[in-house]
A and B are shown apart, each in its own frame.
Chain A
Amino acid sequence: MSNTTTDERVKTAGLVTRIFRRPEVGALLGAVAIFILFTSTDTTGNFANLSGISGWTDIAAPIGIVAIAVSLLMIAGEFDLSSGVMVGTTGLIIGMLVQELGMNIWLAILIALVFAAGIGFLNGYVVVKTKLPSFIVTLATFFILKGANMALTMMLTGAVRVTGTDKAPGFKDAFNIFATRFQIGDAYFQISVVWWIVLTILATWVLTRTRFGNWIFASGGDANAARNAGVKVDRTKITLFMLTSLAAALVGIMFVLRLQGMQAGQGVGQEFYYIIAAAVGGTLLTGGAGSAIGASIGAVIMGMAYIGIPFSLWNSDWTSTFLGLILFSAVMINTFISRRAKGTK
């Protein structure tokens, strides 16, 4: 080809620059540092072996599954604060349909998914039609659902939790798909870890290798320019709100099957963990940049903190403080790296 002569300048952009241009590099370095930290402060000798890993991936998986979707939504320039409470809502729907009506578990799961998709659609539709900030719209959804979870559970069951989900017809099959464990060596891993890894790969492929992914970046990068180029910005955003709700519903399904019931307050507050994981993973809060792998690495960091702190015999009350500091330093490092990477000219 005639343009091989211009290719030589590509090399000057450099492998290092290209690696550091990846949004998840900061998170990866952070994860390695935190892994080394807890391995050295660990008093049980279990943090870095299979049983320790099964422990922190068990915490990371449900955070990661939703954080991936939240991350895509944030890349498109929107927030979803109702993603945490949605875990509880969908779990409660399934639990109640089983407890009150003796419904088949699969039908209950289907109803919960349809409901979640509907709420996601509503979130997205209101955001794109009213042009109100999604922060406010989904904050409202969050509180509406939080209240409804509590009030309807009390009203219908007379208690603050639903139970007996294991008595549902078809429970065993659903449990095997969404909530079972499997053995590696002497450790038991949750099946949610497999879901999480598969979804991370799938989301990464969608984001970087499909037209939909291209439109996610464009919608968050500059919605006007994207629209002028023929990108269906509104449809992209609504789809992402639906996917976020569905990811939360998937985690709700996992919890209700595993716990064979659900508390009315389940999931509330989790939305911040998803946003932290996404931000730690290099997703820009203003939209336009980020990655699904990054969000998953962010979830890993959280899982390591939750297991590593008690393993180090530190006071677990400080876990949130630790995560806050991680978030702060990660965002600083990410900003620094991306500025350096962009200053290639």
Chain B
Amino acid sequence: MSNALELQDVEKSFGSVIALQGVSVEVATQSVTCILGDNGAGKSTLIKILSGVHKPSKGTYLLEGNPVTFESPRTALDNGIATVFQDLATIPLMSIWRNFFIGNELRKGWGPLSRLDVKRMKEITKDQLLEMGIDLRDPNQPIGTLSGGERQAVAIARAVYFGAKVLILDEPTSALGVRQSGIVLKYVLAAKERGVAVIFITHNPDHAMLVGDRFYLLNRGRLIHSWERANVSGDELRKAMAGGKELEALTNEIESTRNK
């Protein structure tokens, strides 16, 4: 498998604070790479570097083997790196098809008569969502009437349709219930099947285990573990994530408080 994207020994500091240090990540094409970490582990900083919001202080960012620097998320997007942020994905009062094509509107006609090709956009929206397995009721309905999971799914389908080679998902399941999370995870796999390299950022080891091919664990700005799917179990992942011994100590402490 070739790498769609690679970070080599990346460091990011803000003034005297080192947010990330010595981070090397390989993201293969047509795979799901999970980046796990608790709050404050440096996940947000890593996403922002990957999506072009921040530039790394040190280290190299390789896109299909070539070193790149992105000036803005827009340049990253133009290079096929799409990011679906937790809450900034869609505009609630606008219809589903308008949301799908926002910023990439199809038009027909010329000059001052240039107008939206509404019919085609509705058709494509419908077809694309259907292909991702999303059963759409009415593309005219405001996207705010969809559930959180469905909205994430539309955002994923949109990124895939507009040629994303790398899809970065920022905690897509963290605000969702169990069933809704399941829906989103299904679309993560659907995106992978369509050849996209998915980077799935989460603090939920169970969700990661369900879809991931490779796992990285971030802690206090460093990568402290990496696994391939073949040689890790859900239990190991959960333990590592909770910090093994730390969890044990915490369990004992809580037990003793409860038993007082």
A-side residues, CB < 8 A to B, are: 2-3, 6, 9-10, 12-13, 18, 21, 205, 209-211, 213-214, 217-218, 221-222, 224-226, 228-231, 284, 288-289, 342-345
Given A13-B137, A210-B114; A228-B85 close (CB under 8 Å): yes
Q: Give B113's nearest chain A residue, CB to CB.
A: A210
Q: Out of B92, B102, B104, B140, which one reaches A226, CB within 8 Å?
A: B102
| Docked-complex contact B74 and A230, CB < 8 angstroms | yes
Residues of B within 8 A of A18 (CB): 140
| Docked-complex contact A3 and B94, CB < 8 angstroms | no
| Docked-complex contact B130 and A6, CB < 8 angstroms | yes
Residues of A within 8 A of B127 (CB): 3
Question: Interface on chain B toward A: helix, strand, loop, or mixed SS?
Answer: loop
| Docked-complex contact A221 and B118, CB < 8 angstroms | no
Q: Give B102's nearest chain A residue, CB to CB.
A: A229
Q: How far is the CA of A206 from the CA of B104 in the complex (A)?
A: 17
Given A6-B135, A9-B137, A13-B137; A225-B116 close (CB under 8 Å): no
Question: Interface on chain A toward B: helix, strand, loop, or mixed SS?
Answer: helix
Q: Give B84's nearest chain A residue, CB to CB.
A: A228
Given A211-B116, A214-B105, A217-B91; A230-B77 close (CB under 8 Å): yes
Residues of A within 8 A of B142 (CB): 342
| Docked-complex contact B138 and A10, CB < 8 angstroms | yes
Given A209-B116, A217-B98, A289-B93; A344-B88 close (CB under 8 Å): no
Residues of A within 8 A of B116 (CB): 209-211, 213-214
Residues of B within 8 A of A225 (CB): 88-91
Q: How far is the CA of A343 from the CA of B146 in the complex (A)?
A: 10
Interface size on B, residues (CB 8 A): 36
Q: Give A23's nearest chain B residue, CB to CB.
A: B93
Given A3-B126, A344-B145; A218-B102 close (CB under 8 Å): yes
Complex interface bits, B126-147 against A, C-beta within 8 A gives 1, otherwise 0: 1100100001111011101110
Q: Give B127's nearest chain A residue, CB to CB.
A: A3
| Docked-complex contact B103 and A226, CB < 8 angstroms | yes
CB distance from B150 to the nearest CB of A (A): 10
Q: How far is the CA of A345 from the CA of B148 in the complex (A)?
A: 13
| Docked-complex contact A230 and B103, CB < 8 angstroms | yes
Q: Give A230's nearest chain B residue, CB to CB.
A: B103
Q: How far is the CA of A53 from the CA of B105 in the complex (A)?
A: 41
Q: Out of A2, A12, A209, A231, which one reaches B118, CB within 8 Å?
A: A209
Complex interface bits, B72-102 against A, C-beta within 8 A gives 1, otherwise 0: 0110010000010100111111100010011
Residues of A within 8 A of B74 (CB): 230
Q: Out of A3, A13, A213, which one reaches B141, CB within 8 Å?
A: A13
Beyond known contacts A211-B107, A217-B91: 19 more, CB 8 A cutoff: A6-B136, A9-B138, A12-B137, A13-B137, A214-B105, A214-B116, A217-B94, A218-B98, A221-B94, A222-B91, A225-B89, A226-B91, A228-B88, A289-B93, A342-B142, A343-B145, A344-B145, A345-B145, A345-B146
Residues of B within 8 A of A10 (CB): 137-138
Residues of A within 8 A of B94 (CB): 217-218, 221, 288
B-side residues, CB < 8 A to A, are: 73-74, 77, 83, 85, 88-94, 98, 101-105, 107, 114-116, 118, 126-127, 130, 135-138, 140-142, 144-146
| Docked-complex contact A222 and B98, CB < 8 angstroms | no
| Docked-complex contact B98 and A214, CB < 8 angstroms | yes
| Docked-complex contact B130 and A3, CB < 8 angstroms | yes
Q: How far is the CA of A27 from the CA of B56 in the complex (A)?
A: 54
Which of A6, A211, A231 is most buried by chain B, counting CB atoms within 10 A of its CB?
Answer: A211
Q: How far is the CA of A301 from the CA of B232 in the complex (A)?
A: 70
Q: Give B106's nearest chain A residue, CB to CB.
A: A211
CB distance from A325 to the nearest CB of B (A): 27
Q: How far is the CA of A215 from the CA of B92 in the complex (A)?
A: 14
Given A6-B136, A209-B118, A345-B145; A230-B104 close (CB under 8 Å): yes
Residues of B within 8 A of A9 (CB): 137-138
CB distance from B70 to the nearest CB of A (A): 14
Q: Give A14's nearest chain B residue, CB to CB.
A: B138
Q: How far is the CA of A39 from the CA of B3 in the complex (A)?
A: 75
CB distance from A92 to the nearest CB of B (A): 32
Which of B90, B116, B144 is most buried by chain A, counting CB atoms within 10 A of its CB?
Answer: B116
Closest 7 CB pairs of A and B: A230-B103, A229-B103, A221-B91, A288-B93, A211-B105, A229-B102, A222-B91
Residues of B within 8 A of A342 (CB): 142, 144-145
Q: How far is the CA of A209 from the CA of B101 in the complex (A)?
A: 13
| Docked-complex contact A288 and B91, CB < 8 angstroms | yes
| Docked-complex contact B115 and A209, CB < 8 angstroms | yes
Q: How far is the CA of A224 from the CA of B107 in the complex (A)?
A: 24
CB distance from B79 to the nearest CB of A (A): 14
Which of A12, A221, A288, A345 is most buried by chain B, counting CB atoms within 10 A of its CB?
Answer: A221
Q: How far is the CA of A218 from the CA of B69 in the complex (A)?
A: 29
CB distance from A143 to the nearest CB of B (A): 33
